[in-house]
Amino acid sequence: MKNIIEIRHLTKKFGEIVAVNDLSFSVKEGELFAFLGINGAGKSTTINILCKQLAKDAGEVLIDGISQDVDSAITKRELGVVFQNSVLDMSLTVLENLESRAALYGLFDKDCKDRIEELARLLDFSELLRRPVGKLSGGQRRRIDIARALLHHPKILILDEPTTGLDPQTRSLLWRVISDLRKSEQMTVFLTTHYMEETTDADHIVILDSGRIVAEGTPLSLKNAYTGDFVTLYGVSEEAVKALGFPYTSHPGGYRLMLPSTGSATALIIAHPELFVDYEITKGNMDDVFLAATGKSLGEERGK
Amino acid sequence: MKIVFALIKRNIKLFFKDKAMFLTSLITPAILLVLYATFLGNVYRDSFLAFLPEGLVLSDQVLGGIVGGQLMSSILAVSCVTVAVCSNFLTVQDKANGSIRDFLVSPVHPAALAVGYYIASFCSTMIICLCAAVICFVYLAFVGWYLAVADVFLILLDIFLLVLFGTALSSIINLFLSTNGQISAFGTIVSSGYGFVSGAYMPISQFSSVLQNVIACLPGTYGTSLMRGHCMQGAISELASLGIPADAIAEIKRSLDCSISFFGHEVSTLGSYGILIGTDLLLIAVYVLLNVYRMKKAKK
């Protein structure tokens, strides 16, 4: 698969602050790419440069093989963006919003009408077309945001924390639609999120900290590289757990030990059978990867 | 071109559907109407009657034509600028709520956006001002109609030029604003201040000479003066037929701001048009140049 996005040695400074520091990575066509980092890590700056909303200080950005510096009108046509907060016009109806945005891509009259109808069926908002966007619920509005981003059949869909604040049902619907689109249209999805479980299906993950890449790979390779196994022991005393000599945290009804590998977990069970009466072994999750790679927790970000 | 038209349509719809923005734009004319109904009408009437020779009695029709013309010119001259400023706030609102980002991620050229905002603001203001003009014409028809057909067309021309002025001026200022707080502050200053500096609340001739000279440096003043002249021209001409001397009529015109002087030199009607049209062209040129500069800066 070819690279649909290539970022080479990208740098952006705001005064003395280096927001993005010599960043290089690529995104393959059709993949779900997750771009992670706490607030201020440089994610939004990178996305803004990618969308040509912000000028870069150094480096190069290629979309589908074309440098943004050569022709941003072409590269912009390849992008559909769902912003963190809805940027639609609250006083206008859904239809008026979509028609005005479709015009920006040269979609008018029948072409425009057909595409809006198609998206309304796909995202299940046909009954909302005549309602003002300001009167919609958060979930309904998000569906319209995604429809707006998809109006012109973009090759790349940029989702900037698309499901923040949404109910589980709407999140599930959005992910189903996005997943279908990826399959049917070979669409590349560039995702930033604070929900680590949304990255488990990603083909490639980049974790950013202070404007630099601190980890990248598939979810499995990152888990193998950054986390071990977790053994949760129930009905034991803290003294007994402490005596095992592994880092642990308190867990409802017991304690959670962090072990470097499955092998060391097995050895521990064999060595201390009296403690392993009620226990479970799990692999580390993406939250653990993030914590290990950055030393920071995304849980704090979600709370903000 | 279709893209620009779609942007204009969106901007106009948004202005008329956004109740806060729409109603804010009507604050100044509304204040003027309230002031007129409560006391300004009487002030206009009394100050005009003070210029008349003793013993001369005017019919209610003539008096209504003059005072009504003064009110009409005040409302229209102020509205052309304040409504333009408020309708143009959409530009800043789009920056504040992030809608502009949605446009900038699209391949649409920034120049199309700038033109879209300008023409939409111009059209929205024209719609409101033309509606206001129709209401004023109906009002004048009741209290005293002395307008010739030429006066009506000249009033429409004045509206056109003043709206161009208001739109261009606010478009330039809005380029430097980016938050709702800033537009609220700017809107308050314009809404409360423009009525005074344009002589809508009180004739400029009643200000101190220093202030008169300062106001004479503001191009909008000449638009107000033109509007006043055309709204009152017919009724004032009627005074001549009643035997009022030409000197007295000239003094009345000066006191009502129908003619205006620049540091002691009276500016002719043609001169006022020259200043207004020149200012319109200059402001539009500045707006275009500022946009070109910003686009070049963004490309770097």
Give pLDDT tens digits for A45-87.
999 898 888 888 999 999 988 888 887 788 888 899 998 888 8
Radius of gyration of chain B (CA): 20
Q: Do B3 and A89 touch (CB under 8 A)?
A: no
Task: Give tens-digit pLDDT for A26-38.
Answer: 999 989 999 988 8
| Dihedral sign of CA atoms A215, A220, A225, A230 in order | positive
Q: By the 8 A CB rule, do B107 and A104 touch?
A: yes
Please tell me the predicted confidence (pLDDT) of residue A102: 93
**Nearest CA distance, A76 vs chain B (angstrom):** 5
Q: Do A51 and B105 touch (CB under 8 A)?
A: yes
Please tell me the predicted confidence (pLDDT) of residue B300: 59
Please tell me the predicted confidence (pLDDT) of residue A300: 53
Please tell me the predicted confidence (pLDDT) of residue A304: 46
**Pick from B141, B138, B153, B120: nearest CA to B230:** B153
Can you tell me whether residue B229 is helix, strand or coil? Answer: helix
**Residue A65 to residue A135: CA distance in whole angstroms:** 41
A96 pLDDT tier (thresholds 50, 70, 90):
very high
Torsion angle of alpha carbons A206, A210, A212, A216, nearest 10°? -20
pTM of this structure: 0.83
**Model confidence at A190: pLDDT above 90:** yes
Tell me the chain B residues in contact with residue A52 when contact means C-beta distances shorter than 8 Å: 104-105
Q: Which of B106, B108, B115, B299 to mutate to test the interface with A (most CBs of A within 10 A)?
A: B106
Q: What are phi and psi of A7, to 5 degrees?
A: -115, 125
Q: Report the chain B residue with the minimal C-alpha distance to residue A148.
A: B102
DSSP single-letter state for residue A197: G
**Model confidence at A303: pLDDT above 50:** no
Please tell me the predicted confidence (pLDDT) of residue B237: 85
Name residues of chain B where pLDDT drops below 70. 298-300
Please tell me the predicted confidence (pLDDT) of residue B169: 92
Please tell me the predicted confidence (pLDDT) of residue B166: 92
Taking chain B, what is the end-to-end CA distance rounded to the nearest angstrom? Answer: 27
Can you tell me whether residue A211 is helix, strand or coil? Answer: coil
Q: Which of A91, A99, A160 to mutate to test the interface with B (most CBs of B within 10 A)?
A: A91
Residue B148: left (phi > 0), alpha (psi -120 to 50), or beta?
beta
| Dihedral sign of CA atoms B180, B185, B187, B188 in order | positive
DSSP string, A216-232: EE-HHHHHHHH--EEEE
CA distances from A91 to A144, A151, B44, B171 (A): 14, 20, 41, 22
The count of CB pairs under 8 A between chains A and B is 68
**Nearest CA distance, B48 vs chain A (angstrom):** 46
Please tell me the predicted confidence (pLDDT) of residue B298: 65
Neighbours of B204 (CB within 10 A): 24
Q: Do B99 and A88 touch (CB under 8 A)?
A: yes
Tell me the chain B residues in contact with residue A106 when contact means C-beta distances shorter than 8 Å: 2-3
Strands, sheet with A188-192, edge to edge from the N-terminal-most edge strand: A79-82, A156-160, A188-192, A32-36, A204-209, A212-217
CA distances from A296 to A212, A246, A264 (A): 14, 21, 26
**Residue B148 to residue B154: CA distance in whole angstroms:** 10
Q: Which residue has the higher pLDDT, A1 or A55?
A: A55
Domain count, chain B: 1
Can you tell me whether residue B242 is helix, strand or coil? Answer: coil
**Partners of A18 in the beta sheet?**
A13
**Pick from A258, A261, A262, A265: nearest CA to A288:** A258
Q: Do A108 and B105 touch (CB under 8 A)?
A: no
Neighbours of A66 (CB within 10 A): 14
Residues in chain B, overall count: 300
**Model confidence at A301: pLDDT above 60:** no
**Residue A209 to residue A227: CA distance in whole angstroms:** 18
**Nearest CA distance, A124 vs chain B (angstrom):** 22
Identity of the residue in A72, A99, A103 whose CB atom sits nearest the CB atom of B3: A103
Q: Which residue has the higher pLDDT, A80 or A181?
A: A80
Q: ∠ CA(A208), CA(A11), CA(A49), 5° rounding?
A: 80
Tell me the chain A residues in contact with residue B91 when contact means C-beta distances shorter than 8 Å: none
**Nearest CA distance, A128 vs chain B (angstrom):** 18
**Residue B150 to residue A9: CA distance in whole angstroms:** 68
Least confident of A184-193, A202-211, B200-209: B200-209
**Residue A257 to residue A6: CA distance in whole angstroms:** 40
**Residue A183 to residue A187: CA distance in whole angstroms:** 7
| Parent domain of B108 | 2-299
